[in-house]
A and B are shown apart, each in its own frame.
Chain A
Amino acid sequence: MEVVISVLVGALVAAAVYLMLSRDLLRFLLGLILISNAANLSIFVAGRLTTGAPPLIAEGQDFPADQVANALPQALVLTAIVIGFGLFAFTLVLTLKAYKRLGTLDTSEMRIAEPRDE
């Protein structure tokens, strides 16, 4: 199963990189969301996949049942999702501000910090 998810992550990354290489900030943002998803999935798959056994300890037991999913990558991914969202939201606000200030979303036109003719 890991192989399938690996291929899926690769496809997501390819789509994300293609979008991030665009001059359009909006497309870049779309790529950013996709690559966050891909990153989360890759952490998840690196911890190996276990079907249908969440890492919970049943009532009355001291330890989980024999084969539960790896809890560590889940904890990592959980925070990564929230942080990824924070990053996306902040970038979105920046994009919005940039558009209001500069009137364009074309990154090759945004040259205030480093003017073209140096």
Chain B
Amino acid sequence: MKSDAAHEAPAKAGQVLSGWLSVAIAAGLFAGFWQALGPVGGGEVLRWSRDWVPSAGISLSFLIDGLSLTFALLITGIGALVMLYSTKYLAGHPHFARFFLYLTLFMASMLGLVLADNLITLFVFWELTSITSYLLIGFTHTSAASRRSALQALLVTGAGGLALLAGMILLGDAAGTYELSEIRLMGDAIREHGLYLPILILFLIGAFTKSAQIPFHFWLPNAMAAPTPVSAYLHSATMVKAGVYLMARIHPTLAETDVWLWTLTIAGASTAVFASFMALKQTDLKQVLAYTTLMALGTLTLFLAADVGYAITAAMTFLIVHSLYKAALFLIAGIIDHETGTREVSKLGGLARFMPVTTAAAALAALSMAGFPPFLGFIGKELKYAGALAVQSEPFLVASAVLLANALMLAVAGVVAFKPFWRGQSATPMTPHEAPWRMLAGPVILAALGALLGIMPDLIAVPLVEPGVKAISNAELQPAELKLWAGVNLPLILSGITIAGGVALYLVHERLRDWLQSAGERAPSFDKGWDSLIDQFKAGAAWQTRVLQSGVMRRYVYTIFATLLIAVGGTLVWTGAFGGIPTVPFADLQMKHWAVVALIIAGAAVTTVTNSRIAAITGLGAVGIGVALIFIIFGAPDVAITQLLVETLVVVLFAVAALRLPLMKPEDGFPNRKLDALIATTIGLIVTAILVTVTDGPIDRRLSDFFESASWTEAFGRNIVNVILVDFRALDTFGEIAVVAVAGVAAWALLKGGKEASK
């Protein structure tokens, strides 16, 4: 797993610049959002809007409230630290600048997502995060595993995105607006609406795929193929929380129903417990962290299911706690990988001697993750228990799930941050040494924040958590207080049980891991299921391509005409539109009419049956002239002249080109093609039936009347046909001459280009 480690080579000035520029952008944005802390903490909501597609009710509107500000600060703050870290981690990488471009693009998209106040705007940024995530997971594009993981993530989140778009359109339709700040006030109306259930399902598919809830969780561990800073940033701290963000954002509109409550409870609880066990099963540090991220996402979903102040406060707090410690731990995993050459837990040990700063940061982050006092993680955990006990679904069940997950989390914290640094001797590929400051800054700052905020929780409670809870609950719920010591109560007792259970689990974790691994081999794998799904999809595509794209032109033509036969003929019969066999007005037919009809029929017949090219051209000429005569008889001199001229050109072209082509083969004649003749006759009859039906009905002459009356008075032309062509419908005509020009130039290029190539 050395694929994303640094390539040692001198960095170019431009590359270095790109790295520092990205850091500066992120830090600048962070400072900008920092300014909003005061107003938002004071209960203000900042909004900015501009029309985008006004006809469709789509605007570029953005909003800063507690929820979006929390996310924005996490995105820019962690973003700046991760970028700083990456300038060293990827130093000398041949695609260094590209990496920072992707990362900055991602940051911009993610910011757009959390700040958007319009459903469609939100969706656009939502998709952009999927795409940038795809680019970053597949950053090591020479590795097949990376490419597969990137594609898997893109397809899963992309499919979810499509569902989300459908849901958003339905919601916009039901609410009559796409503005989130208006929709959030319509919760009651939406919940009563007939489309509520489809909207909810589509939104949750979008959120669950993005935030990797069971059964869409499998892409997230695979996404660890990305360089470690990406895992820290996208697949732990920010992007995967977009689904959580969406559920929080739409909470006032869609929550407070049993469907919402139970769907989120079940999905969140099962994801959290499943992921905790899976985390214990892994030996690769990044995989361990990936599954703990899943657990965190499950927990957040679980708490967003509820509609009580404690649960929502727990979600908001845990969101911040998790982002801080998990980003730190991922970055530390990257340091270990970078400085020792391996991420295998079994090979690591006793690193504390070589990398004291890293060890300290890891310890701080892990203690927060494990939920020890006085870290912010402890407050988060207490709130989780309080929230779990307050939920309306099944407090006992939810609390048990949270307890189990937390205990497992404590054990995992030991595996990640205790064992590699303290226990045993390392047997690593490289001699371990301390990381440079740029890589240490991130983990140290983030881990220290976890401790600092634990001691002074008001720093985030007032400006972020409380406005956030208000935003999620539409200001209907009272946020819970964040404090380290809340007295001896049930949550504290549960915390004690957690710590005891967690330590016990850590002590037996190696045996547990062996057991889990052997059990895992027997269990069905979602990842393999994905592969077989994709394989079936490809096989289906190959099959339909073989059927439809046979490569034999005759079959294509058959398909086209058979479709015509069934679709149009079927419709005619089905609707009964055809008014029956019409009477031919023989009395009106004059000699010239008979002559023209005879000429055309004879010409067509000759063309059809002959094997001689000259006879065929003659037949065509007869048909063309006959058609021109029809145009003359029925008052269309312009069309008739055009037809005659084109007919001349057709004959000339045929004379030039077709006579160079081989003779037509007699065996292609009628006796071998009775079926073709039957199809052709039927289609001819259908066309006649359609035309008879059409001409039998009324005609709408509004357009023609307008052209007739306006041709001279407004467009100063006496030839109405020409006025239509060059004035009334000039844009159409322009399109048509463009086609003519393209056909001419393309044919010319085809002939001339071929010659060039053969020279």
Inter-chain contacts of B646 with A (CB < 8 A) = 81-82, 84-85
Partner of B679, one of A17, A85, A93: A17
What are 25 A-to-B residue pairs whose CB atoms are below 8 Å?
A1-B634, A4-B584, A4-B585, A10-B684, A10-B686, A11-B601, A15-B608, A18-B676, A18-B677, A19-B608, A21-B673, A22-B673, A26-B613, A30-B616, A33-B623, A33-B624, A37-B624, A45-B695, A54-B638, A56-B718, A74-B721, A75-B725, A84-B646, A86-B739, A89-B747
Binding site for A on B (CB under 8 A): 546, 549-554, 557-558, 561, 582-585, 588-589, 593, 597, 600-601, 604-605, 607-608, 613, 616, 620, 623-624, 627, 630-631, 633-639, 642-643, 646, 649-650, 653-654, 657-658, 660-662, 664-665, 668, 673, 676-677, 679-681, 683-688, 691-692, 694-695, 699, 701, 703-704, 707-709, 711-713, 718-721, 724-725, 729, 732-733, 736, 739-740, 743-744, 746-747, 750-751, 754
Bits for A92-118, please: 1 = Cβ < 8 Å to B, else 0.
Answer: 111111010000010110110111101
Inter-chain contacts of B736 with A (CB < 8 A) = 79, 82-83
Closest-CB distance, A19 to chain B (whole angstroms): 6
Closest-CB distance, A98 to chain B (whole angstroms): 10
Closest to A108 in B: B552
Q: Are B687 and A42 in contact (CB under 8 A)?
A: yes
Closest-CB distance, B614 to chain A (whole angstroms): 12
Inter-chain contacts of B673 with A (CB < 8 A) = 18, 21-22
Inter-chain contacts of A18 with B (CB < 8 A) = 608, 673, 676-677, 680
Inter-chain contacts of A75 with B (CB < 8 A) = 721, 724-725, 729
Inter-chain contacts of A74 with B (CB < 8 A) = 636, 638-639, 721
Closest-CB distance, A83 to chain B (whole angstroms): 6
In angstroms, Cα B84 to Cα A70, docked, is 74
Inter-chain contacts of A25 with B (CB < 8 A) = 661
Q: Are B604 and A54 in contact (CB under 8 A)?
A: no
Partner of B584, one of A3, A54, A84: A3
Q: Are A105 and B661 in contact (CB under 8 A)?
A: yes
Q: Are B724 and A71 in contact (CB under 8 A)?
A: yes
Partner of A57, one of B546, B636, B699, B718: B718
Q: Are A12 and B708 in contact (CB under 8 A)?
A: no
Q: Which of A1-39 contact B (CB under 8 A)?
A: 1-30, 33-34, 37-38
In angstroms, Cα B664 to Cα A79, docked, is 32
Q: Are B642 and A17 in contact (CB under 8 A)?
A: no
| Number of A residues, CB within 8 Å of B | 94
Closest-CB distance, A17 to chain B (whole angstroms): 4
Partner of B711, one of A19, A34, A42, A57: A57
Closest to B735 in A: A79
Closest to A46 in B: B694
Q: Are B613 and A41 in contact (CB under 8 A)?
A: no
Bits for A60-72, please: 1 = Cβ < 8 Å to B, else 0.
Answer: 0111100011111
Closest-CB distance, B653 to chain A (whole angstroms): 6
The 6 nearest A-B residue pairs measured at CB: A114-B551, A14-B684, A10-B688, A69-B635, A86-B743, A6-B691
Partner of A3, one of B686, B692, B721: B692
Inter-chain contacts of A28 with B (CB < 8 A) = 553, 557
Q: Are B549 and A114 in contact (CB under 8 A)?
A: yes
Q: Are A105 and B662 in contact (CB under 8 A)?
A: yes
Among A37, A52, A107, max chain B CB count under 10 A is at A37
Among B552, B634, B637, B713, max chain A CB count under 10 A is at B634
Q: Are A11 and B740 in contact (CB under 8 A)?
A: no
Closest to B754 in A: A97
Inter-chain contacts of A93 with B (CB < 8 A) = 657, 747, 750-751
Closest to B669 in A: A22
Partner of A12, one of B553, B582, B604, B660: B604
Closest to B608 in A: A15
Closest-CB distance, B613 to chain A (whole angstroms): 7
Inter-chain contacts of B743 with A (CB < 8 A) = 86-87, 89-90
Closest-CB distance, B104 to chain A (whole angstroms): 43
In angstroms, Cα B605 to Cα A18, docked, is 11
Q: Are A77 and B639 in contact (CB under 8 A)?
A: yes
In angstroms, Cα B743 to Cα A51, docked, is 35
Closest-CB distance, B312 to chain A (whole angstroms): 58
Inter-chain contacts of A95 with B (CB < 8 A) = 657, 661
Closest-CB distance, B19 to chain A (whole angstroms): 47
Among A27, A38, A58, A75, max chain B CB count under 10 A is at A75
